[in-house]
Amino acid sequence: MIDGVAKYVNTQICDHLRVIVPPILAAGAGVLAYGVRGRSSQIFGPSVWRGDPRHNAVAITFDDGPSESTPLLLDTLRQYGASATFFQCGSNVRRLPAIAREVQAAGHEIGNHSDSHPLCCFRAPAFIHDDFARAQLTFEQTLGTAPSLMRAPFGVRWFGYRDMQAKLGLRGVMWTVIGLDWKLSAEAVCNRVLRAASNGTIVCLHDGRGCTARPDIRVSLEAVKRILPTLLERGLRFETVSQILCPVT
């Protein structure tokens, strides 16, 4: 009798687990995916994804530079009096130090986008720290100063990011809207950005393609030429990420 009851209880528990475990695992995977890629996630370290919505300014950001075509982008930004933020890779800065210095001299903000642009999920915390630390050193040696902002390659954070950010004094920056300028047409990039852009928006575009030499960024350049005048017509100003986070009103 007691055996029978035990068997019955076991069967009930197994049936119950069969029902509740998959959703728990799925929910866990969902939380992890959000932590890794969610634009507002703080799970793997402090991060921002938008500025003050009461402030009529947007922050245009460019990842993966500097590249050989970055000076063309600087010309367009100059034409519209726009300040921007460049999340550069250390290895690109060592390849093109004069262009990195040109970006700095034009008054734009520079952030750390890692050294080798790795996909950091499943990487050891020491690897993540060392890659960003190598880039910080390159910025110090090339520009005389190290960034206080960083953006994760592919927007992917992982275990070890929080510790790395604390040790290197880096605040994470995601985005309000990403242009997908490495795969869409200039028109589609414009539409995505212009649909989303309003007070406090952080826009993510690219002036490079990972650590590739001589990347083709014509779509990004064309998109920026269309986006800047349209946003100016809407009464929006262009500020760096640091400015948009701490607006002077």
Tell me which residues touch Zn ion (CB under 5 A): 63-64, 153
Q: Which is nearer to Zn ion, 50 or 113 (CB)?
A: 113
Structure tokens at 159: 């275990």
Among the options 115, 131, 206, 207, which is catalytic?
Answer: 206
Decide if 206 is catalytic.
yes
Cβ burial 164-174 (10 Å sphere, 16+ → b, else e) = bbeebebbbbb
> Helix H segments across 106-237?
125-143, 161-168, 186-196, 218-233
Min separation Cβ 125 and Zn ion, Å: 20
Separation in Å, CA 36 to CA 33, 96, 119, 122, 156: 5, 31, 11, 11, 5
Instruction: Report the residue number whose CB is nearest to Zn ion.
Output: 63
Q: Which is nearer to Zn ion, 204 or 244 (CB)?
A: 204
Min separation Cβ 151 and Zn ion, Å: 7
**What is the rounded CA–CA span in Å between residue 128 and residue 41?**
18
Residues 120, 52, 203: CA angle, nearest 5 degrees: 45
Min separation Cβ 12 and Zn ion, Å: 51
Q: Which is nearer to Zn ion, 65 or 200 (CB)?
A: 65
Q: Which is nearer to Zn ion, 51 or 153 (CB)?
A: 153
> Helix H segments across 65-150?
70-79, 90-95, 97-105, 125-143
Min separation Cβ 86 and Zn ion, Å: 11
Q: Collect all residues with Cβ–Cβ distance below 8 Å to 216 and sequence separation of at least 6.
A: 209
Among the options 63, 131, 181, 207, which is catalytic?
Answer: 63
Q: Which is nearer to Zn ion, 64 or 239 (CB)?
A: 64
Backbone φ, ψ for residue 81 (5° rounding)? 60, 35
Cis upstream peptide for 66 (omega within 30°): yes
Min separation Cβ 152 and Zn ion, Å: 8
Active site residues: 63, 206
